Structure 1
Amino acid sequence: MLQISIKKGSLIFAGNRQLEIVAALSASKIQAIDISTGELVVISPGEIECELKKSSGYSKLDGVPAENPTSIESVNEADLQLATDRFNILSSFAGKKFLSKQDMEQCTATLKVSAAQVYRLLARLDARLGALSLLPKRRGRLKGVTRIDASAEDVIQEVIDEFYGGPGATSKYIIEKVIDRCQVMSIQPPSASTIANRIAARNPRKLLAKKSGSKAARQTYEVRGGKIQPEVPLELIQIDHARVDCIVVDGDLRLPLVRPWVTIAIDVYTRVITGFHLSLSYPSAMSVALCISHSILPKERWLKSCGIDAGEYPFYGVPKRIHVDNAKEFRSKNLSDSCRRYGIELTFRPKGVPHNGAHIERLIGTLMGKVHMLPGTTMSSSKAKGHYKSEKHAALTFVEFREWFIREVEIYHKTTHSGIACSPLHKWENCYKNKDGGFSYPAIIEDQLRLLIDFMPSKRRVVARAGIRLHNIDYYSPTLKRFDIGTRCIVRYDPEKLSKIWVLAEGEKTYIELGYADLRLPNTTLAEFKRAREKLKSESSRRVSAAEVFSLIRKNESLVSAAVSHSKQARKLKEQKKNRLMDSGHPLNEIISKPDFPASTDYSQKPVAYDIEEQDSAVRVGKNS
């Protein structure tokens, strides 16, 4: 520990002036002289801020940097003990240029060094540094002193600055460049180890930034503090998407299809998975809506619809804040308005700062580690997968994978989490446990279908003579007759099922469900409808009607049925539609006993009256006559 030596001749800094101590006047008064003005002043010891060194930071020997004070933590115990013994003996002789014969004999005998060494130790002794000033010096050059030619040193630094950049940067490449440039300049090239040492002496964070970018450098070296932690459940949940590291098979031929996507939500305080949504489709606004509604609502009925009767999933409730990244489906005005309607604050992760979503990222990593044990896993990278044939070993259908995933989530909830030192289920239950031993519960949304509809994608439309037109498709219900043409409304829809929309007219509080105005139209997805429409537009420059598009969709469905065993893409599209329309585990599918539009019904044929009606008519005519 550095100490200020208050004695005659010491240079000090006090009262914003550089002073030299002249004399001690009393126990509380010191006389000093201002170095710059020569003025004599009187100060107290408490006014001294620090002691100034008489010499500069460099010694006069060849411009070699003076040795910096050594940190006591970096000194081994043996050297520290030796220095302490030396200081205890020599400190009483500090300031003396010569020692008596008796004192010298005492010092040499005790320290077991020569007289010359005693004088060298006395010259190094510094009362401010204490025993650290007498640490044994290591042989060799001081740190920072180089012996190669200055021009060669400049070449090394220039080459590092110029060529050490990009993912392919290596020490070997820099060494080759330095040697090549030195030979061109007729300079003696330094050795490879010398060049490697110069690279290692550079700031590692700056080198990593040049090689892998500033993001990687921040990930490795940045100190991350100042976290705002929630204090109760549902105060903060994080939502993100992930592509599952496993290939599923179709339900008919059990041939490999694709990797599903999962949108998942975690409560940061308790670490419980409040909800998730699995799909074969790419993440969208609908995926977010289904995940949020699944997170908010109780899940007992949903578990039974998925074929799980004994499952335990007691987590639900409206969160105070949802934290997401900057993906397009999260940045929509529709999502922010829907969250605001339910009193939810929507916040976004700063760009380029993935650690702000560390809880959801770690959860996804944990679940994918479980997925890697399944047949058909793709692992997290091609390197980790090695020679494993994922498609060859794929075995689970989408519904089977979902059932497995639900059970793994339950296992996760009942396993001790290192971040909270207990299981997420125990943490959740403990938060809602009352002092009397009973339990309190989060409030339940009464209109559960309304909640889901409120988070669906939306468009603004007006009531027309034919009803509501969305995506160039007409929708109608007799309920619309009570509204005037031109009435403005909000239309919500499911991109995976266009046969229904939900309309909220201006001034109304409840949605109206509408179906196709033309009941002969088949059910389809928005993506399939747009693909068919674009195909027709490319063949014709005129306006394309919805009827023509649906006609093309019917032809495509026949083509898919014929080619389903040969084309993975065709099987994928068929499985997506099948899961959306027929899957009892989907929130919008309650109990489906048959398709919405049976293929056996031909609505273009004129209906035939029942025979009983003809008989009744004949009886009535006979009576009248």
Structure 2
Amino acid sequence: MGVAMQKISISPGALVLAGNKRLEIIASTSPSKIEARDVISGEIVIISPGEIEFELKTPPHSGSETFQAEAELAIRDSDIKLATDRFNVLAPLKTKQFLSRQDVEQCSLALGLSASQVRRLFAQLDIKKGPESLILKRRGRTKGVKIIGADVEDIIQQVIDEYYAGPGATVERVIQKVKEQCLALTLKAPSSATIANRVRERKPRELLAKKSGKKAARQVYAVRGEKVQPEAPLQLIQIDHALVDCIIVDDQRTPLMRPWITIAIDVYTRVVLGFYLSLSYPSAMSVALCIAHAALPKNSWLKSYGFSGYEYPFYGLPKRIHVDNAKEFRSKKLSDSCRSYGVELTFRPRGTPHNGAHIERLIGTLMGKIHILPGTTMSSTKAKGEYKSERKAALLFSEFREWLIREVEIYHSTEHSALGCSPLHKWEKYYQNKDGSFSYPLLVDDPKRLLIDFMPSKTRVIGRAGVRIHNIDYYTNTLKRFDIGTKCVVRYDPDSLKKIWVLPEGEKNYIELSYADLRLPDTTLSEFKSLRKKIRGESARRVPAAEVFKLIEKNEQLVSAATMAGKQARKTRERKRSRLADPGHPLNVQRQIEKHIESVDYSVNPVAYTLED
């Protein structure tokens, strides 16, 4: 999967880059507005979270004012030794998926830790990283401020395990016991706030079970088949697909097909954290685009569709994604991608639709709005009655998308019956501090990398002609750095085969590759496979990719020239057109840049510059 994604913390004093300006964050004025100071000019500016490109690791200097450099990660020798000792005990057990009770007891005895601490360390263990994976990672502090050592951290966790128990369990009791034990061992005790934060980091269900028993915890958090009640935004989101109850038309205003929507809801606030609208059947790519849309700020996305003055402040990587048992969700690759970003992927038990009730109700709400549109199919044949959906269809795909974005905005501002307030208010209330300022979810520092990491993938090797996938050769000069036979992970977009992204073994960053033959037209994987299968049916010989691309070009010319092509051909054309012309698609940003680059006309002789005497 490559390197773990860095996250950007938006807090007063943080130094960031936004719009080529080096800014120091001063305060937050709303869930979508941040007050910052230009460290060069001193100018005060207002920015949104989505404008922040990355966090400056080495703060710049401005005039006579010197900014204190961010402290490097401080790891003491004792922490390294402790991590090594723990690694030597736990590593031999990593071949097991779960630790048995006997394993836990033996490790607890060998390491002097509680059972819960052993399980946490085992989950954290990474054989490839070695002992480093077990080092307590905390951000460095400025000089003169000591960090909590591993020994003190262990005391805190052990006290929580032992003393946060029974009806009388309180945070105050934990604080008192931690300070008593630190004093007895002549260790500097952490602050009360630090200890309280460690308690709150535990799962709410675990804390309730320790205080009131497992039965009480099940009643609150495991009602009707493990129905979890989150206590904050981004703790749990649900994702599902739905076939939209409306027929859209093509650019000739001829009835075409029903779009698909992949949508994510934040269960705590009920906000639509992200969605992806498409004319293609749901796939791993639909899921990737939905997750990326949910995790990232929406500012540039709204602007790409011409929306100004709209606020969509909802974004962030969730702690847990809950999905049904569809094939595209059951992929091990999706599970691996989630794990690399610290996201837990869980599945709805079969036969328990109530486990996805929140996303189902949201889809039902949106479909109810859609039923007023021309061309609606309603929710059933009975509900549609004599209504002629195809005859009444009127909206282009782009028009329907614009309508849907506005409806989602309306939904966010409307009171939700289960919340007693609007989803927008619920989100804002959580992130508003006592002093009236706002905090923000962590930002992902490389949005495009996030999407690529969730895209469909194959394993290939670098060959003499480059990288071959789907029987198509891809190349870039960067591949010359690698030996023939080097293994690599290849990420691709099934709706646009023009480019792929390759991660060679041992590398940290993806390399973007284009067709080795730049004259080939862009196409979808389904179209390419369909035409290739058709040629194979006519003969048993191996079919070169170039032959398939010739058919694709002929089909495009035929469809564009025809005044009334067959419906299936129009669907194929519209799927491709809607994907490649979508201004809000994250992989289309580079295409838009390329369109503005003037191509060179090699038929015109160059004109020499006139030299001055």
Name the TM-score class by shorter chain. 0.5 to 0.7
| TM superposition outliers: structure 1 runs of 4+ over 6 Å | 594-598
> Does the 8 Å contact 1:584/1:592 carry over to 2?
no
Whole-Å Cα distance in 1 between the matches of residues 437 and 593 of structure 2? 44
Confirm whether residue 240 of structure 1 aligns to residue 244 of structure 2: no
> Does the 8 Å contact 1:476/1:514 carry over to 2?
yes
Distance 1:337 1:596, change over 3 A: farther
Confirm whether residue 485 of structure 1 aligns to residue 484 of structure 2: yes
Whole-Å Cα distance in 2 between the matches of residues 453 and 594 of structure 1? 19
Residue 605 of structure 2: aligned partner: 610
**Superimposed CA distance per residue, residues 374-399 of structure 1 (whole angstroms, 9 cap, x where no aligned partner):** 11100000100000111111111111
Residue 458 of structure 1: aligned partner: 457
Larger Rg belongs to: 1
Residue 326 of structure 1: aligned partner: 325
Aligned residues: 388
Whole-Å Cα distance in 2 between the matches of residues 226 and 553 of structure 1? 49
Whole-Å Cα distance in 1 between the matches of residues 228 and 264 of structure 2? 18
Deviation (angstroms), 1:302: 0.2
Residue 418 of structure 2: aligned partner: 419
Whole-Å Cα distance in 2 between the matches of residues 498 and 231 of structure 1? 42
Residue 342 of structure 1: aligned partner: 341
Deviation (angstroms), 1:561: 2.1
User: 2:239 is aligned with what amino acid?
Assistant: I
> Does the 8 Å contact 2:496/2:524 carry over to 1?
yes
Whole-Å Cα distance in 2 between the matches of residues 410 and 440 of structure 1? 22
Distance 1:611 1:602, change over 3 A: closer
Whole-Å Cα distance in 2 between the matches of residues 294 and 594 of structure 1? 21
Deviation (angstroms), 1:608: 4.7
Distance 1:441 1:534, change over 3 A: same
Confirm whether residue 549 of structure 1 aligns to residue 548 of structure 2: yes
Whole-Å Cα distance in 2 between the matches of residues 550 and 597 of structure 1? 26
Whole-Å Cα distance in 1 between the matches of residues 568 and 334 of structure 2? 31
Distance 1:284 1:227, change over 3 A: closer
Q: Secondary structure of 1:469's partner?
A: strand
Residue 568 of structure 1: aligned partner: 567
Residue 537 of structure 1: aligned partner: 536
User: 2:347 is aligned with what amino acid?
Assistant: F
Whole-Å Cα distance in 1 between the matches of residues 462 and 500 of structure 2? 13
The alignment's TM-score, normalised by the length of structure 1, stands at 0.60
Q: Secondary structure of 2:513's partner?
A: strand
Q: Secondary structure of 2:437's partner?
A: coil
Whole-Å Cα distance in 2 between the matches of residues 355 and 389 of structure 1? 34
Q: Secondary structure of 2:333's partner?
A: helix
> Does the 8 Å contact 1:270/1:428 carry over to 2?
yes
Where does structure 2 lack aligned partners over 5 or more consecutive residues? 1-222
User: 1:270 is aligned with what amino acid?
Assistant: T
> Does the 8 Å contact 2:415/2:422 carry over to 1?
yes
Whole-Å Cα distance in 2 between the matches of residues 353 and 341 of structure 1? 28
Residue 510 of structure 2: aligned partner: 511
Whole-Å Cα distance in 2 between the matches of residues 487 and 611 of structure 1? 42
Deviation (angstroms), 1:566: 3.6
Confirm whether residue 281 of structure 1 aligns to residue 280 of structure 2: yes
**Superimposed CA distance per residue, residues 176-203 of structure 1 (whole angstroms, 9 cap, x where no aligned partner):** xxxxxxxxxxxxxxxxxxxxxxxxxxxx
Q: Secondary structure of 1:347's partner?
A: strand
Deviation (angstroms), 1:567: 2.0
Distance 1:238 1:448, change over 3 A: same
Confirm whether residue 359 of structure 1 aligns to residue 358 of structure 2: yes
Residue 231 of structure 1: aligned partner: 231
Deviation (angstroms), 1:311: 1.6
> Does the 8 Å contact 2:225/2:355 carry over to 1?
no
**Superimposed CA distance per residue, residues 421-459 of structure 1 (whole angstroms, 9 cap, x where no aligned partner):** 111110111111111111100001010000010000000
> Does the 8 Å contact 1:311/1:407 carry over to 2?
no
Residue 37 of structure 1: aligned partner: none
Deviation (angstroms), 1:253: 0.7
Q: Identity over the aligned pairs, expressed in percent?
A: 71
Confirm whether residue 309 of structure 1 aligns to residue 308 of structure 2: yes
Residue 387 of structure 1: aligned partner: 386
Distance 1:500 1:591, change over 3 A: closer
Residue 105 of structure 1: aligned partner: none
Distance 1:436 1:470, change over 3 A: same
Confirm whether residue 582 of structure 1 aligns to residue 577 of structure 2: no
Residue 432 of structure 1: aligned partner: 431
Whole-Å Cα distance in 2 between the matches of residues 242 and 429 of structure 1? 28
> Does the 8 Å contact 1:582/1:592 carry over to 2?
no
> Does the 8 Å contact 1:523/1:597 carry over to 2?
no
**Superimposed CA distance per residue, residues 566-608 of structure 1 (whole angstroms, 9 cap, x where no aligned partner):** 422222211111111122121211265598799xx999xxx65
Deviation (angstroms), 1:326: 0.3
Q: Secondary structure of 2:586's partner?
A: coil
Equivalence map 1:5-154=2 (5 Å): none
Deviation (angstroms), 1:228: 2.4
Residue 294 of structure 1: aligned partner: 293
Residue 90 of structure 1: aligned partner: none
Residue 249 of structure 2: aligned partner: 249
Where does structure 1 lack aligned partners over 5 or more consecutive residues? 1-222, 617-625
Deviation (angstroms), 1:225: 7.5
The alignment's TM-score, normalised by the length of structure 2, stands at 0.61
> Does the 8 Å contact 2:235/2:320 carry over to 1?
yes
Tell me which of the two structures has the higher relative contact order, counting C-alpha pairs closer than 8 angstroms and 6 or more residues apart: 2
**Superimposed CA distance per residue, residues 479-525 of structure 1 (whole angstroms, 9 cap, x where no aligned partner):** 10001111111000000000000001111111100000011111100
